[in-house]
Amino acid sequence: MKSLKYSAFFFLLSFLLSFSFVYAQDSKSIPVKVNDTVVFRLFNTDREDASAIAEKASKILNEKFESGASADSLETETEDGGGISIYWGTSLIVTVTKEQALKHNSEPSALAKLWLKNIISAAAVKPLEMSASKVVVALGDSTSITIGGDGKVKFKYPQKALEVSFDEEESEVSIHPLKTGEFDLLMIRRNKRGTLKLIVKERAGKIDKDVELEVTGMPASTEVIKSGVLWRIPDAVTLKPGASVYLKDDISIYQSIIEGDTALLSVPVILEGSNYITVEGTVKVHIKNSGLKWKAPSELFISNRPEIIKEDGILFNKSIPESNHVRMMYSHKNGSDFNRKLTVSLKNKSPKPVKLLFRNAAAGPDKFEMYAGHKAAHRYMALYGTGSGYVLEVPAFANITIVEKVITPNFLFSGICDIEVLEGKEIDVKVETFKSKNEGLKEIDEPFDPFKIHPHGVFPVPEILNENKYKISSGDLEVTVGKWPWVIDAKTGEPNTGNFGVVYTLSTDLVNDTSYPVTVDVLFTPLNGVSQGTFIIDGELIESKILKKDTSQVIKQIKLRANETLNCKIVTIPEASSCYPVQFLFTSRSEKKNR
């Protein structure tokens, strides 16, 4: 009997130990976390693999959390079998089965309600404090921001686009971009989250080097130095496609440079373009006045017909022969009802660079046509009088634009330039007009009209010397400029009526053959309509007022002692949009005192 009791006892103990072992195995739960916060636990059941379900639920929950999905879309739904499913939007998180609820000593509805509450609580995200929410950074640079909170940080970002590191002590996030584009860097710190928008761009370019500028003139004028500096700046930088270089401020050149002198100019520039990081810096331009002398021009190019442009096309297209110097006058008015461009370009068709001596003076666009023509001539004569110019180079097989202007409707743009080939083969000169693109343009041909003064062509007499002697005792002297005989286009035989663009030098000996001092007045008089003039008189740059036909202005007074002879040198040029011919009258007044 005792033996039987002991046997029954050991059987019961063995049964209880076996039951306890099974229960312990079943009671091992798998946690499901949202951002490291446990929101519920799963037990294995006969039909449920807790690990697999927990892994899937955790993945969905954290993806939703990290994507910023609203907790408002969390809800429960009763299934046909009596289970309660928890959804986040359309995504199934977990189904609370009767078996799972039994493991928790609960009912499916009550357990689902508890789990839903836990999930909503864990998903209630607060914004992460960040020193910046958006950063624009150049490719190749690094950037950093600081964040608030404490503890470890979970990052989510495109691994091939960014490198991210974190200094927990300083709460500093460092980012080094690997490619261009726009990227999101998600940061989660405990129950706080924030997204940093990173915009990674390439720099618009870089400043590579100093550049040199060779100028000439006695002295080289500030205007030609400024033009030359503007021309050389692009050679100091490398730009990304579509980027451009601009001056940060207007170039201020306060003095001219005499022959043999040098100067160093630091020019603040900006490199920018769409979808690039703007670059600011300084270009250093080393300037030297070499004292290079202009050759006498061999031809005069004129682009003035059609004066009023109403269609896209080529207005002028000629070549400058090797070693030649050409003066060119261009003057055109926009006759369209939209803005259009006018360009003057040079094309080098040879395999070697062409070195040029260049200067350009332009004015407008302006609605007052005479003003544009006069200001262009005035600026040109200032350069002409000092022999100013600068050296530029046209690379092999290159096409460069030396003049570019947008002309508004009914406005006129005018200019005069000198181009001398110093080294290399011939160079093509082209004047074009277009609305947006200068592709596939055809030449615009307007027939010559003797009743309209709009010259066009190549004229072999760009300068005229007129030598005279004015004796006081012989009466007044009249000298006329811009009259027949006109210079003629050698190819077409068409005249340059008015001799526009021709530089006249009036060299007049003033002979006082009397025994008393006199004052010689030089009067400027338009003979054929309204006109305005620019003159270099004995080295002094002078301009007249706007004068009507047959009205005069004294433009110079010269005193002569008794029996004194002086030479008066007047240099002038018929200006675009003024009327010619014009007259220079030399007349005198006695300075002897009455006794």
Residues 473, 581 within the same domain: yes
Residues 487, 565 within the same domain: yes
Q: Is residue 238 part of a domain?
A: yes
Section 586-590 average pLDDT: 95
> Minimum mean pLDDT among 125-129, 142-146, 589-593: which range?
589-593
Asked whether residue 219 carries a pLDDT value surpassing 50, the answer given is yes
Asked whether residue 3 carries a pLDDT value surpassing 90, the answer given is no
Q: What is the pLDDT of residue 595?
A: 44
Provide the pLDDT confidence category of residue 182 given band limits of 50, 70 and 90: very high
- What are the tens digits of pLDDT across the range 515-546? 999 999 999 999 999 999 999 999 999 999 99
Burial code of 67-103, b = ≥16 C-beta within 10 A, e = fewer? eebebeebebeeeeeebbbbbbeeeebbbbbeebbeb
- What are the tens digits of pLDDT across the range 153-170? 989 999 999 999 999 999
How far is 529 from 581, CA to CA, in rounded Å?
9
Mean pLDDT over each residue of the chain, to the nearest integer: 91
Provide the pLDDT confidence category of residue 9 given band limits of 50, 70 and 90: very low
Residues 62, 188 within the same domain: no
Section 101-107 average pLDDT: 91
**Number of folded domains that form the chain:** 5
Asked whether residue 19 carries a pLDDT value surpassing 60, the answer given is no
Q: What is the pLDDT of residue 5?
A: 43
Q: Is residue 9 part of a domain?
A: no
Q: Is residue 5 part of a domain?
A: no
When computed from its CA atoms, the radius of gyration of the chain, rounded to whole angstroms, is 44
The CATH number assigned to the domain holding 275 equals: 2.60.40
Q: What is the pLDDT of residue 35?
A: 74
Percent with pLDDT over 70 in the chain: 95
Residues 277, 386 within the same domain: no
Q: Which domain holds residue 86?
A: 25-124
Q: Is residue 393 part of a domain?
A: yes
Q: Is residue 17 part of a domain?
A: no
Residues 432, 308 within the same domain: yes
Residues 132, 66 within the same domain: no
What DSSP element (H or E) covers 142? Answer: none
How far is 545 from 552, CA to CA, in rounded Å?
10
Could you tell me the two tokens for 98? 């009767």
Q: What is the largest CA-CA distance in the chain?
A: 179
- What are the tens digits of pLDDT across the range 399-428? 999 999 999 999 999 999 999 999 999 999
Provide the pLDDT confidence category of residue 452 given band limits of 50, 70 and 90: confident
Provide the pLDDT confidence category of residue 24 given band limits of 50, 70 and 90: very low
Sign for the pseudo-dihedral over CA of 239, 242, 248, 253: positive
Whole-Å CA distances, 210 to 16, 216, 237, 262, 447: 93, 20, 9, 15, 49
Provide the pLDDT confidence category of residue 594 given band limits of 50, 70 and 90: low
Helix (H, G, I), strand (E, B) or coil at 130: strand
How far is 289 from 455, CA to CA, in rounded Å?
36
Pairing of strands 211-216, 279-289: parallel
Cα-Cα-Cα-Cα torsion 517, 518, 519, 523, nearest 10 degrees, comes to -160
Section 228-249 average pLDDT: 94
How far is 342 from 414, CA to CA, in rounded Å?
10
Residues 306, 449 within the same domain: yes
Q: For 260, which DSSP code?
A: T
Residues 436, 348 within the same domain: yes
Q: Is residue 353 part of a domain?
A: yes
Sign for the pseudo-dihedral over CA of 572, 574, 576, 580: positive
- What are the tens digits of pLDDT across the range 282-299? 999 999 999 999 999 999
Closest CA to 22 of 44, 50, 47, 49: 44
Which of 176, 203, 230 represents a domain boundary (last residue)? 203
Which of 56, 91, 124 represents a domain boundary (last residue)? 124
Asked whether residue 25 carries a pLDDT value surpassing 70, the answer given is no
Single-letter amino acid code for the residue at 509 = D
Closest CA to 370 of 534, 497, 524: 534
The CATH number assigned to the domain holding 146 equals: 2.60.40.10
The CATH number assigned to the domain holding 498 equals: 2.60.120
Residues 93, 147 within the same domain: no
Helix (H, G, I), strand (E, B) or coil at 367: coil
- What are the tens digits of pLDDT across the range 120-129? 888 777 889 9
- What are the tens digits of pLDDT across the range 59-77? 998 888 777 778 888 999 9
Q: What is the pTM of this model?
A: 0.76
Residues 170, 313 within the same domain: no
Sign for the pseudo-dihedral over CA of 250, 255, 258, 262: negative
Which of 289, 317, 340 represents a domain boundary (last residue)? 289
- HEC per residue, 499-533: CCCCEEEEEEEEECCCCCCEEEEEEEEECCCCECC
Residues 171, 284 within the same domain: no
Asked whether residue 42 carries a pLDDT value surpassing 90, the answer given is yes
Section 366-393 average pLDDT: 97
- What are the tens digits of pLDDT across the range 301-332? 999 999 999 999 999 999 999 999 999 999 99
Q: Is residue 382 part of a domain?
A: yes
Residues 312, 392 within the same domain: yes
Q: Is residue 384 part of a domain?
A: yes
Closest CA to 329 of 367, 295, 363, 366: 363
Q: For 234, which DSSP code?
A: G
Q: What is the pLDDT of residue 90?
A: 92
Strand order in the sheet with 74-78: 74-78, 84-88, 91-96
267 neighbors 237 (Cβ within 8 angstroms): no
Asked whether residue 14 carries a pLDDT value surpassing 60, the answer given is no
Single-letter amino acid code for the residue at 49 = D
Percent with pLDDT over 90 in the chain: 80
Asked whether residue 344 carries a pLDDT value surpassing 60, the answer given is yes
How far is 464 from 499, CA to CA, in rounded Å?
10
Q: What is the pLDDT of residue 254?
A: 77
Q: What is the pLDDT of residue 27?
A: 53
Asked whether residue 13 carries a pLDDT value surpassing 70, the answer given is no
457 phi-psi bin (left φ>0, alpha ψ -120 to 50, beta other):
left
